[in-house]
Structure 1
Amino acid sequence: MAGISKVELMLKTAKESDAGTDGWVYLGIAGRELHVDTTDNDFEPGAEFTYVFGQDANVLDAERNDPTAPRLNTDDLDRFPLYIRFEPKNGSDNWGLDEATVLVNPGTDLPHRYSNPAVIGAADHRKIWLGQKTGKMLHLRRY
């Protein structure tokens, strides 16, 4: 059993002109959700960004989206689903997601890595559209 001190989430938005969003994105991990946002225009078409929670955080409201307060535990990574959730700004808002990777406790002897093989790679059939009419969640698995 180890505490989670840092989480890195890499998200890549598809390059199509309509793939970007101003909606809200969340990371579900170890039984809670963390809000994914920075001061940048993170979810523009073709954007790739790594969000850091906990140690060396770069997200907005870092103290309220901190996996150390209360401390999340690596044992709970297998007890609860790990996912990306999209909440559209309105009924016609969609987000084209090309890739999502999560690293838990990177730089340690036992980092945990998650992704979804369906969205790894640049081919058209690899992206997923999230929105009101296409589903709002993408579950990730350990690899």
Structure 2
Amino acid sequence: MSDITQIRARIETADVDRAATDAWIYLAIAGREFCLDPGSGNGYFERGVKTCFVLGEQGGSDGGEAGFNNVPVEDAQWNDPRTPQLDTEDLNLAPAYIRFATASSNPGWCVERVKVTVIARGGEQHHFDNYRLREVKDNRQLWLHERYGERLFLYNVTSD
């Protein structure tokens, strides 16, 4: 088991009408929730936008994923997997998910894709994904809203 030093959450908002949101978006992983964006309206969840949120150590590779803009999370010192220090042993002890929390006038959010990479000391990587959103198709998008579901669960796909 190793200390987690960085989490990279690649999130793609669908390119469909009214897909954008300025709601609060959270990532739960390793038994903890992190705020990726506090409803700031900064454009990270606009229609068709691809954003890679970086938690913990800054820098590093985007994993070869074209089109993603790397951004640190707001309030980075409080959204850091090193405070308290999380360990790779924690990854399978609690569910991993993205959570939508309505805090704005935007009624929902359409997610095209969510992929999370957890990087441990020494470079060990663990990958999380949702199998149903792997292919880009009309029926492979998910609308999140308080009236029809606020979470997208992710699976540990490190063995893929």
TM bucket by the smaller chain? over 0.9
1:93 and 2:107 correspond: yes
Between the aligned residues of both structures, percent identity stands at 34
For 1:132, the equivalent position in structure 2 comes to 146
Change in CA separation of 1:108 and 1:101 when aligned onto 2, cut-off 3 Å: farther
Equivalent of 1:52, from 43, 51, 54? 54
**Aligned partners of 2:3 and 2:85 also within 8 Å:** yes
Q: Deviations over 1:60-113 (max 9, x none)?
A: 100000000111111010101111000023586110000000000079542000
Measured in 2, the distance between the counterparts of 1:25 and 1:16 equals: 19
**Aligned partners of 1:99 and 1:119 also within 8 Å:** yes
Change in CA separation of 1:106 and 1:3 when aligned onto 2, cut-off 3 Å: closer
- Listed as ranges, the gaps of 5+ residues in structure 1 are none
Change in CA separation of 1:9 and 1:124 when aligned onto 2, cut-off 3 Å: same
Aligned residues: 143
3-state SS of the aligned residue for 1:76?
Answer: helix
- Listed as ranges, the gaps of 5+ residues in structure 2 are 59-70
Superposed CA RMSD: 2.0
Moved more, 86-95 or 123-132: 86-95
Measured in 2, the distance between the counterparts of 1:36 and 1:24 equals: 8
**What letter matches 1:97 in structure 2?**
V
1:77 and 2:91 correspond: yes
For 1:25, the equivalent position in structure 2 comes to 25
For 1:61, the equivalent position in structure 2 comes to 75
- The alignment's TM-score, normalised by the length of structure 1, stands at 0.93
3-state SS of the aligned residue for 1:66?
Answer: coil
- The alignment's TM-score, normalised by the length of structure 2, stands at 0.83
* Structure 1 residue 37: Cα displacement: 2.3
